[in-house]
Chains A and B, each alone.
Chain A
Amino acid sequence: MTLYTKPKQYSNLREEHRSKYITPHPNHRPPDSLLEWRFPLDAQKKTQSLAVIRQEAACKSIRYYPTFLEHVWNQIRFQPITHWLLQGSLLLTAMLLALYLRRTSRGGPEMLTVCSVFIVFAGNICLSQIARLFSWHMAELEQTLYLNLRQMICIRMLEAGIANLIILVLFILIAGGVDTLGISVSLIYMAVPFLWSDILYLHMLSHLRSIFSGFRSFALGLLCGIISLLPVLWEPVYQPEYLIIWQILAALGTLLLIAEIAKLLEKINQGDTICVNE
């Protein structure tokens, strides 16, 4: 017993239908002239039409939309090699120094200060790549590109943020042996100098750009590093009773950093400061 019968092919059904209902009369055959008839073709018109089509096709440009990751990669690949060398050597030095301090059992404030100073320097090197966008009259030109200045700054800030986060994590791993301090407390101690130096840097960038160039930028970075060394002069600041001050400074710093970024982007949007010729 077969439970399943193969369905008839559609073409078979069609043939069946044709033979049953629309079989032409055996004597009926269209005249040869009609069978051979074709629409007359105007060769000249055909050539002309094809030429118009080709011309229109040539005018069409296929838009290319790079992905966000492509934009990020483009920003990374055109950063100068010196930037990467500086970041790499700084990170290496910091890690070696932190490891040395850990081995010699000199953790605690010294370790935190070393990490703080180096993370401030790393942050400033990253921010210097944002300052670079404003240098040599490039800002005006960059603002007119598909990926404009605002977007470039956002991408570079993101890159800087990720790079600094990685460095911070590495430092926390190394400084994991900082006495009895937990990871979150170590994070606050390291993040506060970093946040405030970034605020200072961005403030200089958005407000004092006309006097902000070359060596001044370098000097500012150095100053931030020195300021972040201050806690080591007064070790009690790392005592638990002062933690609340560090927490307030961290919260305030985060808010101010966001405000500085927003202010910088708004200034770019207005455009007046971009066109300052210095």
Chain B
Amino acid sequence: MPELKLDRITKHFKNKIAVDNVSLCLKNGVYGFLGANGAGKTTLLRMICGVLKPTAGEILCNGSSITKLDGDYRYMLGYLPQDFGYYPDFTARRYLEYLAACKAIPRELAKEKVQEMLCLTGLESDQRSKIKTFSGGMLRRLGIAQALLNDPEILILDEPTSGLDPKERIRFRNIISSLSKGRIIILSTHIVSDVEFIADEILLMKQGRIIEQGSIQEVTASVSGKVWEYLADPETALRLNDTFAVSNLKNEDNQVRLRLVSDTCPCEGALPVQPGLEDVYLYHFEEVSEHVEHLERRTL
């Protein structure tokens, strides 16, 4: 069973610090990296994959530096990049066969594995179609198929469910859950529900740092007493919506039920409720969300 150790990893891009002194120890299980866009998730994953070189720090796999392990490390790696690459003139089968050859899978075994992955991802009927004719969801499924091709001990998936419809998303979650035994699976996403059901451990990233780490129970416990529910009239609801971070808003007859995230009681009559992962996300990334919202408004 592999063990990945990140020892004070830092990455600078000119004047910007993308990842700041991150230390982690990953053993087998599903790890969900949550963070807003620009939090440094992708940069960190790229360093774990060996695509990017850290400015400082070291990544160790089973006690050896991944730079020294070189091919032996990549042999046990499966990676789905955020911007999934493909040759558009290749058919799905040929593309997987090409990657199988580059992943050092023997030719006979590669044929079996390619067929198995095509079935697993539901691309069997499209295996002879050129990739350029694929939809976004099909491309994502092809990406998942290529990442699983070598039965990797370390599986790194960057935004794996973007472009997938709910049915495909559930299917993907089930595939990942079934694979989680005896390997490290790192899932990076900003879609909370992707990791809520399958991750053994949640890692929250903000401005290049890990700000929270633990099981879902542990992470949600950190915002315990900071999530409130309140039934308000529409006018008050509007005012509260402007003042506090609202994780849910539901119309009930003439009133509005609000779920608010706040360090203190937002208003008289608000009741503390059990926090969920979305509340945790909102609690930590509220400022970022506001910034994004502001940018969106400006664009509009």
Chain A interface residues (CB < 8 Å from chain B): 59, 61, 63-66, 74, 78, 80, 132, 135-148, 152, 269-272, 274-275, 277
Q: Contacts A140-B51, A275-B52 given; indicate if A146 touches B87 (C-beta within 8 A).
A: no
Q: Contacts A64-B106, A136-B88, A137-B83 given; indicate if A143 touches B53 (C-beta within 8 A).
A: no
CB neighbours (8 Å) of A74 from chain B are 98, 101-102
Which residue of chain A has its CB nearest to the CB of B94? A78
What range describes how many residues of B lie at the interface? 20 to 34
Contact B53 A269 (CB under 8 A): yes
CB distance from A46 to the nearest CB of B (A): 26
Contact A138 B86 (CB under 8 A): yes
Main secondary structure of the interface of B (DSSP, over half): loop
Contact A270 B53 (CB under 8 A): yes
Chain B interface residues (CB < 8 Å from chain A): 13, 46, 49-53, 71, 74-75, 77, 79, 81, 83-89, 94, 97-99, 101-106, 146, 150-151, 182
The listed residue with most A CB atoms (<10 A of its CB), out of B50, B74, B85, B106, is: B85
- Which 4 pairs between the two chains have the least Cβ-Cβ distance? A137-B85, A138-B85, A74-B101, A271-B52
Cα separation A137 to B88 with both chains bound (whole Å): 11
Cα separation A137 to B82 with both chains bound (whole Å): 10
CB neighbours (8 Å) of A145 from chain B are 74, 99, 102-103
Some 14 contacts from A to B, beta carbons below 8 A apart, are A64-B104, A64-B106, A74-B101, A74-B102, A78-B97, A136-B85, A139-B85, A141-B99, A142-B85, A147-B104, A148-B74, A269-B53, A271-B53, A275-B46
A66, A80, A143: which contacts B50 (Cβ < 8 A)?
Answer: A143
CB neighbours (8 Å) of A78 from chain B are 94, 97-98, 101
Contact B74 A65 (CB under 8 A): no
Q: Contacts A144-B49, A271-B51, A275-B46 given; indicate if A137 touches B102 (C-beta within 8 A).
A: no
Cα separation A141 to B50 with both chains bound (whole Å): 11
Contact A63 B81 (CB under 8 A): no
Contact A136 B86 (CB under 8 A): yes
CB distance from B207 to the nearest CB of A (A): 19
CB neighbours (8 Å) of B182 from chain A are 59
Cα separation A228 to B53 with both chains bound (whole Å): 40
Contact B51 A146 (CB under 8 A): no
CB neighbours (8 Å) of A144 from chain B are 49-51, 74, 77, 79
Cα separation A139 to B46 with both chains bound (whole Å): 12
Q: Contacts A80-B89, A147-B104 given; indicate if A140 touches B50 (C-beta within 8 A).
A: no
CB distance from B215 to the nearest CB of A (A): 26
Q: Contacts A78-B98, A145-B102, A145-B103 given; indicate if A272 touches B13 (C-beta within 8 A).
A: yes
Contact B71 A146 (CB under 8 A): yes
Which residue of chain B has its CB nearest to the CB of A277? B83
CB neighbours (8 Å) of B105 from chain A are 64
Contact B104 A140 (CB under 8 A): no
Q: Contacts A146-B71, A146-B102 given; indicate if A275 touches B86 (C-beta within 8 A).
A: no
